[in-house]
Amino acid sequence: MKSGLAKIVLTAILTMAIGSAAIATASNSHSRKYFTIEGKVLQVDTKAQTILVADNQSDKLYLVSVPVEGSFKITSGLYRLYDSPDVEHVFKNDVVKVRCLANDSGRYARLEGDRDAVIVVAN
């Protein structure tokens, strides 16, 4: 009887250890899926719900697609006091802060003047 109980306890301990390792791995990979862009707005397309942003930290351009549930913050501009602005509230030369979903596929958009913009989705 003791060996049966010991097997059950050992199985429970191993299951919890494997489960906690899987949860830790999932939470670490989840934190790497997002990044933040903060920069100057170069162009706004309200019909396509996109914003072209020049990142302050790097020399990259980002074409940010803003879905209905996507959120961003205007840090410098007319509607900077809005908690959850829409694309209609963004104007050229505003400064925005956007949390984006990382794109592993490396999709780029070709802009005028032979510049490329990384296509990302606001979260």
Q: How many domains does the chain have?
A: 2
Neighbours of 31 (CB within 10 A): 8
Q: What's the whole-model pTM score?
A: 0.71
56-73 burial by CB neighbour count: b if 16+ within 10 A, else e? eeeeebbbbbbeeebebb
More confident residue, 40 or 19: 40
Same domain, 4 and 43: no
- Domain range for 6 is 1-32
Same domain, 26 and 74: no
Same domain, 118 and 104: yes
Residue 40 sits in a domain whose CATH number is 2.40.50.110
Same domain, 25 and 47: no
Contact assessment for residue 61 and residue 55, using Cβ atoms and an 8 Å cutoff:
yes
Same domain, 28 and 38: no
Same domain, 39 and 18: no
Q: In the structure, what pLDDT confidence band is assigned to residue 91 with cuts at 50, 70 and 90?
A: very high
Reduce the DSSP state of residue 16 to 3 states and report it: helix
More confident residue, 13 or 92: 92
